[in-house]
Structure 1
Amino acid sequence: MSAGRKLFAGDWRFMAAAAGLERLPKMFGVEIAVAGRSNVGKSSLVNALTGRDGLARTSSTPGRTQELIFFTADERLRLVDMPGYGYAAAPKAKVAAWTELIRAYLRGRANLARVYVLIDARHGLKDTDTPVLDLLDEAAVSYQIVLTKADQPKPAELAAVLDATAAAAKKRTAAYPQILTTSARTGAGIGELRAAVARLLDETR
């Protein structure tokens, strides 16, 4: 069994939900977080990554994830589903509160090893992604861009988005240069993402 597959073969389960800093679980082990625009497919990717269809709630309503959701299989690794940005069916004051929570989490979580920023392969980077990438650069938090729904665009279109995204990432101070492509529906790229997380875990030991 490959290191990535073995890492995610455990009994992944919900651990905690935090709507404020006071609700964050104590830091332990290594954390990785998944960020992205609302409706980019974060929950679907979390479910594909962990092999648990119902672990993260999926919804056709953008902005349903309103807290930092923590999942774990053992004490080595925690997976954090972050609130979607760019659109949310909620009052502006609540959206502002989520934004501040994310900002504080990124700046103060010493065991956060990497954020995986999900980008829809059909559209590529958008203006709504820029503030989040800026924040990650400012906080010096390592992040890697993962294209989702890569089964939907035509090969030439996917290649163009991949090239443009890679070029943009090279200009970013905290961005990992390699762009991953995935499809939660077909499973394409999920093994590569698992392997990337396993390598990251080895590097932090």
Structure 2
Amino acid sequence: MTETNDDAADLLEAGRLLFAGAADFYAAAQVLERIPPMEGVEIAFAGRSNVGKSSLINALTGRNTLARTSHTPGRTQQLNFFRIGDRLSLVDMPGYGYAAVEKAKVEAWTKLIHAYLKGRANLARVFILIDARHGFKSIDTDVLDGLDKAAVSYQVVLTKGDSLKKGEIESRIAGIQAGLAKRPAAFPQVILTSSRDDLGVPELRAAIARLLVERGA
């Protein structure tokens, strides 16, 4: 079904209203046993360490300190769960790749993330954050391979989009879309964002609102 301009406008407004309401931290899990029971629709944010997950979550919710941010890779060391109104839960996942912590802890996070992704029936989509300045790296494609294998729906969100010129942006998005074309679990639309100036944030909210409509939530 082709989306009309009216449909797009309705989703933008639905996304705005969704994130204009209450947004609260409600659980954290460093081990599988501490993951809260499944309730409502859930989305998750994943990406390399220091890609800007926490900053984007704060921009989405219009709150500066909902998710803790840091310039030190590896600051998020657990699955953090946030309740958005009464219809949605949002999960901030530990960054994969380099982190300024010991290797054993990174391996523990990795096992936790894989267990979470495989066993979460109410998980509507994983948003994979990619630094717009660098595009895909091998560790990103490893993660996408895992999501494809597990049949977990995911969508690429480019962060730090304010760092690129228009021509660079078009080239980066085209390259990423080409790389996603043959991936079975990938949603084809790439969203360019910048938490610094809210670039793409309304469109990301709208994409999340659309997921709720599709899930009947």
Which of the five TM-score ranges fits, normalised by the shorter chain?
A: over 0.9
Q: How does 1:25-174 map to 2 (within 5 A)?
A: 25-174=36-185
AA aligned to 2:192 is T
The residue matched to 2:152 in structure 1 has which SS? coil
AA aligned to 1:122 is R
Note the residue ranges of structure 2 that are not aligned, 5 or more in a row: 1-11
Shift of 1:73: 2.8
From 185, 192, 204, the equivalent of 2:196 is 185
Shift of 1:116: 0.3
TM-score normalized with structure 2 length: 0.93
The residue matched to 1:98 in structure 2 has which SS? helix
Partner of 2:32: 21
The residue matched to 2:113 in structure 1 has which SS? helix
Q: Deviations over 1:102-143 (max 9, x none)?
A: 000000001000000000111111111011111111110000
8 A Cα contact 2:41 2:87, kept in partner: yes
Q: Deviations over 1:78-98 (max 9, x none)?
A: 000000011111111111110
TM-score normalized with structure 1 length: 0.98
The residue matched to 2:161 in structure 1 has which SS? coil
AA aligned to 1:34 is F
Shift of 1:159: 1.1
AA aligned to 2:170 is A
AA aligned to 2:157 is V
Matches of 2:13 and 2:92, distance apart in 1: 24
From 187, 197, 202, the equivalent of 2:208 is 197
Matches of 1:156 and 1:2, distance apart in 2: 29
The residue matched to 2:73 in structure 1 has which SS? coil
8 A Cα contact 1:147 1:179, kept in partner: yes
Partner of 1:10: 21
% same residue? 65
> Aligned residue pairs: how many?
205
